[in-house]
A and B are shown apart, each in its own frame.
Chain A
Amino acid sequence: MSEQDPLLDVQGLKKHFGGVKAVDGLDFTVEQNSITGLIGPNGAGKTTSFRTIAGFHEPDGGTVTFDGQDLTGADPATVVEAGITRTFQEARTFPSMSVFENLLVGAVGNRGEQLIPASIGASQYSEDERRAIERADELLEYTGLESVRDQQASELGVGERKLVEIARALMTEPDLILLDEPMAGLPRDVTQDVIEYIQRLREERTQTFLIVEHDMDVIMNICDRITVMEAGRDIASGTPAEIKRDEGVIEAYLGSDADTGGEQ
């Protein structure tokens, strides 16, 4: 793959629910090591696009190409295996599991077929498990979560749970992380922490992000490139500065309620 090829290339993506054309011919790309934003008014089809790329919906048309590999219509496990993982809007964790265990769940996809050794001999960890444990502890240290390592996820505040969710996503060793409204429901000061966290991951770990977010300040501040969706298709792509000046975008946003609430 050449230097110029995008990491993720979505062409003509369609997802219809009965008569509702939630996504109807979406084209956009995500460059290596970028933070790319996907924005648009309510009901523009952003979350549906996310779900379709992540393998939760079967697309009705178009292609999803990731790192040269065709992922159109792949199931979620295959998508994760290929290197894409996602987070959810509401800081989803496994509440009755410890923070450490939450992270280990993310290691499962990488460990191939060796489930049997895992079930024999309680302290006799397999090589895969040992590596997963080391990686989990390393990520806990990196994210500053080591002090809550053995606490149940349900005991954490929403900001910490969001960090746990992103750390769990990192455990799958992704090339691309899809963040679905990462700032939704977060207090202002925590938002700043999460922004810094995402930027650090991009700088220090050459991580690539695709973000759906309603908070325009966050999007304009953090993204290298932005694709704007309206009625299931892309209406503009460019740098934050270009997007701010784009007539079509301004019209799309003024013509609807731009910054109220989330999309279903």
Chain B
Amino acid sequence: MVAFDPQYLVNGVIVGSTIALAAVGLTMIFGILNFINFAHGEYLTVGAYAAFVANVTLGLPIPVALLVAVPITAGFAVAIDRVVYYPLRERGLGGVGLLITSVGLSIALRNTIEIIWGSKLRDYAVPSGQAMTIAGVRITALQIIIILVAVLLMVVVHLLLTRTILGISMRATSSNKALALSSGIETERIIRWTWIIGISLTVVAGVLIGLNTSIRPSMGFRLLLVMFAAVILGGIGDPYGAMLGGLSIGIAQEVSVAFVSASYKPAIAFAIMVLMLLWRPEGIRGENA
């Protein structure tokens, strides 16, 4: 084998930063609602297709399409919460019951998308552009934008969580629901905002992934395992951990291509997840989540 090619690392950062965004959404929803949303991947897919309709069917430029897709999909997630999860929560259904419900929701959404748009790969109407070579690494302008958007959103999430009362209330609710309730926090309002913020990040991740590769009805579902791995790696419910976890998993997957066949990528994520659960189930950041 020749010297390590930094190309794999850069590919890993591109993939990892998009996984990280979606994983932050997943982990926030877990932290506040206390259930594993199996349909999280489908929200990513719904967002990617909403942007596809705006971009290809309606002919809007992709940044505008993204800005259209985010509120539509976030609104969709809030509506699903009202119609499906809220009544179940009120009846006291626990995490397992909600998890099973989300499995059903995941299948229903995925098949609905497939019925409407078919199962074949679709692309956004965006030229992928000439790759340039920087320090021996090939990268397109679009990929640089993908990384920048992901990093920018992570900073926004950080500021939201630490500098706003909404963010502090979200962390408080995630940390101790009873104490948050007795501080006067209306949990249902926090739940609504968590869906909006978590799903918005996930939609951006979906569109960025679609820009980097293609979109298809199973894209979100295929990413679910990777997102779980990122969330577990970072410590369940910890947004900063999920950022770190997503980036690590993305890099590990892409760098593994240098050593094993690319078809083993999901196995790499799965192996990391299992090892992490055995070694440090509380996540890389430890107990301060």
Q: Judging by beta carbons under 8 Å apart, are A104 and B184 in contact?
A: no
Q: Judging by beta carbons under 8 Å apart, are A88 and B184 in contact?
A: no
Per-residue B-contact encoding for A163-207, CB less than 8 Å = 1, 0 else: 000001101100000000000000000000000000000000000
Considering the complex, give the chain A residue whose CB is closest to the CB of B184: A109
B159, B160, B185: which contacts A108 (Cβ < 8 A)? B185
**Chain B residues with CB below 8 A from A109, complex form:** 183-186
Q: Judging by beta carbons under 8 Å apart, are B166 and A152 in contact?
A: no
Instruction: Give min CB distance, B162 to chain A, whole Å.
Output: 8
Is A2 located at the chain interface by the 8 A CB criterion?
A: no
CA gap between A21 and B211 in the complex, in Å = 62
Instruction: Give min CB distance, A134 to chain B, whole Å.
Output: 13
Per-residue A-contact encoding for B164-189, CB less than 8 Å = 1, 0 else: 11111101100110111111111101
**Chain B residues with CB below 8 A from A96, complex form:** 171, 175, 288-289
Q: Judging by beta carbons under 8 Å apart, are A107 and B176 in contact?
A: no
A110, A118, A171: which contacts B164 (Cβ < 8 A)? A118
Considering the complex, give the chain B residue whose CB is closest to the CB of A86: B182
| Given A97-B171, A129-B164; A108-B183 close (CB under 8 Å) | yes
Is B163 located at the chain interface by the 8 A CB criterion?
A: yes
CA gap between A94 and B289 in the complex, in Å = 10
**Chain A residues with CB below 8 A from B288, complex form:** 95-96, 152, 154
From B160, B167, B185, residue with most partner A Cβ within 10 Å = B185
Q: Judging by beta carbons under 8 Å apart, are A94 and B181 in contact?
A: no
Q: Judging by beta carbons under 8 Å apart, are A107 and B182 in contact?
A: no
Is A56 located at the chain interface by the 8 A CB criterion?
A: yes
Is A76 located at the chain interface by the 8 A CB criterion?
A: yes
Considering the complex, give the chain A residue whose CB is closest to the CB of B196: A119
Q: Judging by beta carbons under 8 Å apart, are B180 and A54 in contact?
A: no
Per-residue A-contact encoding for B153-164, CB less than 8 Å = 1, 0 else: 000000110011
CA gap between A105 and B172 in the complex, in Å = 7
Q: Judging by beta carbons under 8 Å apart, are A56 and B166 in contact?
A: no
**Chain B residues with CB below 8 A from A86, complex form:** 182
B interface: dominant SS: helix
Is A122 located at the chain interface by the 8 A CB criterion?
A: yes
Is B193 located at the chain interface by the 8 A CB criterion?
A: yes
Instruction: Give min CB distance, A88 to chain B, whole Å.
Output: 7
Which chain A residues numbered 61 to 98 have a C-beta less than 8 Å away from chain B?
A: 76-77, 80-81, 85-88, 92-97
Considering the complex, give the chain B residue whose CB is closest to the CB of A123: B163
Instruction: Give min CB distance, A99 to chain B, whole Å.
Output: 12
| Given A94-B176, A97-B171, A105-B168; A119-B160 close (CB under 8 Å) | yes
**Chain B residues with CB below 8 A from A108, complex form:** 165, 168-169, 172, 183-185
CA gap between A41 and B53 in the complex, in Å = 67
| Given A88-B178, A88-B179, A115-B166; A105-B185 close (CB under 8 Å) | yes
CA gap between A246 and B61 in the complex, in Å = 81
Interface size on B, residues (CB 8 A): 28
Instruction: Give min CB distance, A124 to chain B, whole Å.
Output: 9
Per-residue A-contact encoding for B262-289, CB less than 8 Å = 1, 0 else: 0000000000000000000000000011
Q: Judging by beta carbons under 8 Å apart, are A168 and B165 in contact?
A: no
**Chain B residues with CB below 8 A from A40, complex form:** none
Q: Judging by beta carbons under 8 Å apart, are A106 and B179 in contact?
A: no
**Chain B residues with CB below 8 A from A88, complex form:** 178-179, 182
CA gap between A159 and B180 in the complex, in Å = 21
Instruction: Give min CB distance, B188 to chain A, whole Å.
Output: 9
Per-residue A-contact encoding for B96-139, CB less than 8 Å = 1, 0 else: 00000000000000000000000000000000000000000000
Is A244 located at the chain interface by the 8 A CB criterion?
A: no
**Chain A residues with CB below 8 A from B165, complex form:** 104, 107-108, 111, 115, 118, 128-129, 132
Is A101 located at the chain interface by the 8 A CB criterion?
A: yes
Q: Judging by beta carbons under 8 Å apart, are A77 and B168 in contact?
A: no
**Chain A residues with CB below 8 A from B175, complex form:** 94-97
Considering the complex, give the chain B residue whose CB is closest to the CB of A116: B166
Q: Judging by beta carbons under 8 Å apart, are B289 and A77 in contact?
A: no
Q: Judging by beta carbons under 8 Å apart, are B185 and A77 in contact?
A: yes
Q: Judging by beta carbons under 8 Å apart, are B183 and A80 in contact?
A: yes
Instruction: Give min CB distance, A47 to chain B, whole Å.
Output: 13
Q: Judging by beta carbons under 8 Å apart, are B160 and A105 in contact?
A: no
B163, B167, B186, B197: which contacts A77 (Cβ < 8 A)? B186
CA gap between A96 and B241 in the complex, in Å = 13
CA gap between A128 and B165 in the complex, in Å = 9
Instruction: Give min CB distance, B91 to chain A, whole Å.
Output: 14
From A81, A115, A168, residue with most partner B Cβ within 10 Å = A115
**8 sampled A-B residue pairs with Cβ under 8 A:** A76-B182, A76-B184, A85-B184, A94-B175, A119-B167, A123-B163, A171-B183, A172-B184
Shortest 9 CB-CB contacts between residues of A and residues of B? A109-B184, A80-B184, A122-B159, A76-B181, A118-B164, A105-B172, A77-B186, A94-B175, A118-B166
Q: Apart from A77-B181, A95-B175, A119-B164, what are 9 other A-B pairs with CB-CB below 8 Å?
A: A56-B178, A77-B184, A86-B182, A88-B182, A94-B171, A108-B168, A109-B184, A115-B193, A172-B183
